[in-house]
């Protein structure tokens, strides 16, 4: 979703910007738009899988990635630095351990957003596999400029059917052959 959908979606979203800037605010806005687009694309691909495996989908990732991505960067860079900083440099070593620990704790604590705003997570019936196949087919068709105009509403309708549709469309409601 991120590798294929994000560049297409970001390019389309960028068309709606009227004026280009080069300041800090423009850079932060562009970075925020990039994170949002990548998150939406990843969620669109993962939602049916989450519904199927866990019987639950969450929209918290749309907000949490604005916190999680910078924290994960700190964890990865400081974690890699720990392998390079010998224990002999105790001040630098302690600071690096503190950075990893703080960022990792921030990642874990940020997941509590669902406890604060439980409406961001929804329990759903596991979708029927033919519906999932149609959905992923429609998503794949959105890559084609020729098919995109019809594929986007089709994928959206299928996603709504999978997540909020009647129980008759759920995997458990279909008797095994």
Q: Torsion over CA of 51, 54, 59 and 61, rounded to 10 degrees?
A: -120
Q: Write the DSSP assignment of 152-167 as a string of letters.
A: HHHHHHHHHHHHHS-G
Measured N-to-C along each axis, helices 129-141 and 148-164 cross at an angle, to the nearest 10 degrees, of 150
pTM, 2 dp:
0.72
**Contact by Cβ (8 Å): 62, 40:** yes
For residue 68, the SS3 value is: helix
- Whole-angstrom distance, CA of residue 23 vs CA of residue 25: 5
For residue 114, the SS3 value is: helix
R_g of the chain, CA atoms, integer Å: 21
Question: In the prediction, which pLDDT does 52 show?
Answer: 87
pLDDT tens digit sequence for 5-14: 777 776 665 5
For residue 82, the SS3 value is: helix
DSSP letter at 145 equals T
Question: In the prediction, which pLDDT does 32 show?
Answer: 85
- Report the number of secondary-structure helices (H) and strands (E) in the chain: 7, 2
How many Cα atoms occupy the beta-carbon half-sphere of 78 within 13 Å?
A: 19
pLDDT tens digit sequence for 43-95: 999 999 988 888 888 888 888 889 998 999 999 998 888 887 766 667 777 88
- Whole-angstrom distance, CA of residue 7 vs CA of residue 21: 20
**Contact by Cβ (8 Å): 170, 126:** yes
Mean pLDDT (whole number) for 82-110: 83
**pLDDT top residue among 167 and 114:** 114
């Amino acid at each position: 979703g991120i590798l294929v959908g994000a560049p297409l979606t970001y390019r389309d979203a960028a068309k709606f910007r009227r004026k280009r800037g080069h300041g800090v605010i423009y850079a932060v806005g562009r970075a925020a738009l990039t994170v949002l687009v990548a998150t939406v694309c990843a969620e669109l691909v993962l939602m049916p899988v989450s519904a199927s495996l866990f019987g639950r989908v969450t929209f918290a990732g749309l907000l949490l990635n604005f916190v999680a991505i910078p924290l994960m960067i700190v964890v990865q860079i400081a974690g890699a630095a720990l392998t390079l900083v010998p224990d002999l440099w105790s001040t630098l070593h302690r600071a690096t351990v503190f950075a990893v620990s703080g960022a990792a704790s921030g990642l874990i604590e940020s997941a509590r957003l669902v406890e604060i705003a439980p409406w961001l997570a929804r329990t759903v019936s596991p979708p029927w596999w033919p519906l999932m196949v149609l959905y992923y087919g429609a998503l794949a068709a959105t890559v084609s400029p020729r098919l995109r105009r019809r594929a986007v509403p089709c994928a959206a309708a299928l996603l709504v059917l999978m997540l909020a549709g009647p129980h008759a469309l759920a995997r458990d409601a279909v008797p095994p052959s």
